[in-house]
Amino acid sequence: MRIAILAPIAWRTPPRQYGPWEQVASLLTEELVARGHDVTLFATADSITGAKLNAVCAKGYGEDAAADAKVCECLHIANLFERAEEFDIIHNQYDFLPLGYSALVKTPMVTTIHGFSSPLIIPVYERYNGKTSYVSISNADRSPKLTYIATIHHGIDLTQFTFRKDHNEFLLFFGRIHPDKGTKEAIEIARQAGKKLVIAGIIQDEAYYREHVEPHLDQKQVVYAGSADPKMRNELLGQAYALLHPINFAEPFGLSVIEAMACGTPAIAFNKGSMPEIITPGKDGFLVETVDTAVAAVRRVETLDRSACRKTVEKKFTAGRMAQEYVRVYEKICRLKKQGV
């Protein structure tokens, strides 16, 4: 099967640090190549892949101050669709913009919806509903206005995450520093629990960081470690006592949660969005409703078996499982096309 993967181009694929969509596109691409598929990755020119790489943008616009994001997007998306006939299927990992091209080519397209950045974009998905295929990344993130061909949870490469039976005593916040992600709440949970907190992730909301995070940084009890690269990510996730994930929105998925679990570190998450699909309370983490119940959960972490966290990921959240499920979707779409459906 000839597969075209359209990756985002805010960052390199795979990303050097932050870039969850690019990370998923990379993991899927490499798994498909390993399974013998003919894959072309449309990404930035500095991307690293075992697939054929096709690029019109030298590097991600998030890493190039001179780049115009809209120009990069236009050139990048058009580059794939001008070659659409070379492929049996197009896998769009680039949100809603490529949908406008989908009716102009004969090659079928599947779009992974990585969440809705705003309700204002849903009408675009509605317009092409039934004309292209949609995959949700959690059941919680499905829109009742759309038809889906499957829900496929993200997977990760377990070789990038070292299981650690032993741990340190610090709590970890790993993600965007933004109100949605609950950095402020993580600081309060750690304070009430009497635990050191390490914060790692990009500063996405500068005003929020200055008001709610920076005043608490003392490099002793509350430490900002910066935006972690894969090596630091593995070390922090594996050494942490627990991952704090006090999200303030219905998160479509939570890569950092399964990454922590792969290292043996349980997650304490607010019970929103996809979290009940990822965490089994009392087994590999806790689902909580408030800061106070999160503090109580911190005190129960020692009752959890860290090996159970790893086993959850091995069973449910590997990149291999993710790729296998996408191949089934590709085959179904191609079969329906042949049948004229």
Residues 151 and 216 placed together within one structural domain of the fold: no
Residues 96 and 208 placed together within one structural domain of the fold: no
Ranges of residues in the chain whose predicted pLDDT is under 50? none
Residues 83 and 201 placed together within one structural domain of the fold: no
- Which residues 6+ apart lie within 8 Å of 58 measured at CB? 44, 45, 46, 64
Residue 50 dihedral angles phi and psi, to the nearest 5°: -90, -5
pLDDT at residue 331 in the model: 97
Residues 140 and 212 placed together within one structural domain of the fold: no
Residue with tokens 């991952």: 243
Residues 50 and 63 placed together within one structural domain of the fold: yes
Rounded to two decimals, what is the model's pTM?
0.94
Q: What is the DSSP string of 184-238?
A: HHHHHHHHHHT--EEEES-B--HHHIIIIIGGG--SSSEEE--S--HHHHHHHHH
Residue 103's Cβ-count burial label (10 Å; 0-12, 13-18, 19+) is exposed
What does the DSSP 8-state code read for residue 85?
G
Residue 304's H or E segment, with its range, is: none
Structural domain of residue 151, as residue ranges?
2-155+318-338
pLDDT at residue 341 in the model: 61
Contact 252, 235 (CB under 8 A): no
Count of domains observed in the chain: 2
Residues 309 and 190 placed together within one structural domain of the fold: yes
Q: What is the DSSP string of 124-154?
A: HHHHTBTTBEEEESSGGG--TTS--SEE---
Contact 92, 112 (CB under 8 A): yes
pLDDT at residue 98 in the model: 97
pLDDT at residue 80 in the model: 98
Residues 131 and 210 placed together within one structural domain of the fold: no
What is the longest distance spanned by two Cα atoms in the chain?
A: 64
- The string of pLDDT tens digits covering residues 224-243 is 999 999 999 999 999 999 99
- Which amino acid makes up residue 131? K
- For the chain, give the number of residues: 341
Residues 114 and 29 placed together within one structural domain of the fold: yes
**Residue 308 belongs to a domain with what CATH number?**
3.40.50.2000
Task: Specify the 3-state DSSP secondary structure of 178.
Answer: coil
Residues 163 and 311 placed together within one structural domain of the fold: yes
Residues 296 and 326 placed together within one structural domain of the fold: no
Residues 172 and 282 placed together within one structural domain of the fold: yes
Residues 232 and 301 placed together within one structural domain of the fold: yes
Angle formed by the axes of helices 306-316 and 255-262, to 10°?
120
* 133-136, strands of its sheet edge to edge: 52-54, 38-42, 2-6, 89-92, 109-113, 133-136, 150-151
pLDDT at residue 289 in the model: 98
